[in-house]
Amino acid sequence: MQEHFNLTCGQIGNALSIYSTVAAVGFLFAIYFADKFSKKIALPASLIATGILGIYLLTFPGYHGILLVWALFGITCNTNRSYDHNLSCCRINLWKYPR
């Protein structure tokens, strides 16, 4: 990443810090949206958005573009995790209390 994007270690650290901050704050909102929206719509939309961001990252954007992409990764990846968390909780509960 450092060679291809011509970034310093500090700039890569900033991108990952932005991702972590957005992911931590966004996780609270992702749980809310996971309860409000159907997973049949939200999961594919989140995966498609993550894919589009990855394709944009392949164009080797500038530093600010990279920061934007990593911030948006924090949002789109949290949506995937919140649905996965809800599904894993259901599996655990089903195993505890078989029918």
Dump pLDDT digits (tens) for 67-92: 999 999 988 887 665 555 544 444 44
Q: Yes or no: say if 74 and 19 are a contact pair by the CB < 8 Å rule.
A: yes
In degrees rounded to 5, what are phi and psi of residue 8? -85, 170
* pLDDT tens profile 16-25: 999 999 988 8
Average the pLDDT over each of 1-5, 23-27, 54-58 and give the range with the smallest value.
1-5
**Model confidence at 95: pLDDT above 70:** no
Average pLDDT of 27-31?
77
Q: How far apart are CA 81 and CA 20, in angstroms?
A: 14
Specify the 3-state DSSP secondary structure of 62.
coil
Q: Which residues of 4-24 are buried (b: 16+ CB within 10 A; e: fewer)?
A: ebebeeebeebbeebbeebbe
* pLDDT tens profile 30-55: 777 777 878 788 888 888 999 999 99
The pLDDT assigned to 92 comes to 45
Total-model pTM: 0.73
